């Protein structure tokens, strides 16, 4: 009796977990689509990150089945470009997103279809704003990461700092982690410190005199974080990279 009971209780959770994983994969795919479009639109990292956050926040409230996630993604890009004051022309956004989505079809030529998409995007934008309660800004880790890199770089040995691509890798990791929901779950400073820690760890570089100092370097940058938390965030980032394998 108890066996069947446990079997019954296990089943739904497993189903839920796989369903959840599938959803994660779908979101990963859409954010990948957004990142591709962002590169073709020559967007910089900050508006790109804002767009990803808008997307994730929307789908943490709404269900995936009710909306076309690609449309939401495209609208998030346009919205983010307005928020971060790096304006993109809507025609460009639609052209690029259409092309990225339908790689086999020729690029958009019909004026009517363009007008339809424009209309769709306008209503979608209002919908997203309402869902997010008109609160579309969030403090981003990019500023913090750059300042940490500058401060740390002044202290490190110049030859090591120039030769090892710690800065590029940290920046790459920061961009990549927006494929997952890590960005929503932690403070900006914590993410920045974790990414920098991760980058240094990958290359096996140690901060000079860190073990003899009173405060370790990551504690200096963000005094309310523990090494445990940093490792947690790093594991979540590695989870995001694992998702790519399953694509």
Residues 104-133 that bind other proteins (CB under 8 A): 107-109, 111
Quick one: 11 or 155, whose CB is closer to other proteins?
Answer: 155
Under the criterion CB under 8 A, does residue 183 sit at the interface with other proteins?
A: no
Of residues 206 through 245, those in contact with other proteins by CB under 8 A are 206, 208-210, 212-217, 220-223, 231, 234-235, 238, 241, 244
Among 150, 143, 232, 231, which Cα is nearest to 192's?
143
Q: CA torsion 149→153→156→159, rounded to 10°?
A: 120
Within 10 Å of residue 224's Cβ, how many Cβ atoms? Answer: 9
Select from 12-20, 75-83, 130-138, 201-209 the region that touches other proteins (CB under 8 A): 201-209
Q: What is the DSSP letter of 65?
A: G
Q: Given candidates 79, 149, 182, 233, which one binds other proteins under the rule CB under 8 A?
A: 149
Q: Given candidates 80, 96, 191, 195, which one binds other proteins under the rule CB under 8 A?
A: 96
Q: Given candidates 11, 150, 184, 185, which one binds other proteins under the rule CB under 8 A?
A: 150
Q: How many residues bind other proteins (CB under 8 A)?
A: 78
The distance of closest approach from Cβ of residue 123 to other proteins in the complex, given in angstroms and rounded to an integer, is 23
Quick one: 62 or 175, whose CB is closer to other proteins?
Answer: 175
Under the criterion CB under 8 A, does residue 83 sit at the interface with other proteins?
A: no
Contacts of 96 (CB under 8 A, 6+ apart): 37, 40, 41
Under the criterion CB under 8 A, does residue 163 sit at the interface with other proteins?
A: yes
Quick one: 111 or 135, whose CB is closer to other proteins?
Answer: 111
Select from 18-26, 62-70, 95-103, 123-131 the region that touches other proteins (CB under 8 A): 95-103
Q: Which two tokens stand for residue 48?
A: 């790109």
Q: Which two tokens stand for residue 134?
A: 């008109």
Under the criterion CB under 8 A, does residue 12 sit at the interface with other proteins?
A: no
> Using N-to-C axis directions, what is the helix angle for 2-40 and 227-246, rounded to 10°?
80
Angle among Cα 152, 153, 156 to the nearest 5 degrees reads: 90
Under the criterion CB under 8 A, does residue 161 sit at the interface with other proteins?
A: yes
Report residue 199: phi and psi, to 5°: -65, -45
The distance of closest approach from Cβ of residue 90 to other proteins in the complex, given in angstroms and rounded to an integer, is 11
Under the criterion CB under 8 A, does residue 169 sit at the interface with other proteins?
A: yes
Under the criterion CB under 8 A, does residue 90 sit at the interface with other proteins?
A: no
Cβ pair 145, 171 in contact under 8 A = yes
What would the DSSP string read from start to end of 124-177? HHHHHHHHTTT------HHHHHHHHHHHHHHHS-HHHHHHS-HHHHHHHHHHHG
Of residues 23 through 82, those in contact with other proteins by CB under 8 A are 32, 35-36, 39-42, 44-46
Q: Whole-angstrom Cα distance, residue 67 to residue 61?
A: 12
């Amino acid at each position: 009796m108890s066996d069947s009971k446990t079997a019954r209780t296990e089943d739904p959770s497993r189903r839920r977990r796989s369903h959840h994983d599938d959803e994660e994969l779908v979101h990963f795919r859409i954010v990948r689509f957004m990142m591709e479009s962002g590169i073709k639109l020559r967007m910089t990292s900050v508006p790109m990150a804002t767009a990803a956050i808008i997307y994730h926040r929307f789908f943490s409230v709404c269900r995936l089945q009710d909306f076309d996630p690609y449309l939401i993604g495209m609208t998030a890009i346009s919205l983010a470009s307005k928020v971060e004051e790096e304006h993109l022309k809507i025609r460009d956004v639609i052209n690029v997103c259409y092309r990225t989505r339908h790689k086999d079809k020729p690029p958009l030529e019909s004026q009517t279809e363009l007008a339809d998409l424009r209309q769709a995007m306008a209503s979608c934008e209002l919908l997203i704003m309402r869902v997010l309660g008109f609160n579309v800004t969030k403090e981003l880790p990019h500023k913090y990461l750059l300042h940490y890199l500058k401060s740390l770089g002044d202290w490190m040995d110049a030859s090591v700092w120039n030769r090892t691509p710690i800065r590029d890798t940290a920046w790459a990791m920061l961009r990549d982690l927006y494929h997952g929901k890590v960005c929503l779950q932690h403070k900006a400073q914590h993410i920045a410190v974790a990414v920098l820690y991760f980058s240094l760890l990958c290359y096996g570089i140690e901060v000079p005199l860190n073990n003899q100092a009173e405060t370790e370097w990551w504690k200096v940058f963000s005094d309310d974080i523990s090494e445990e938390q940093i490792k947690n965030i790093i594991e979540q980032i590695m989870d995001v990279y694992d998702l790519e394998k399953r694509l």
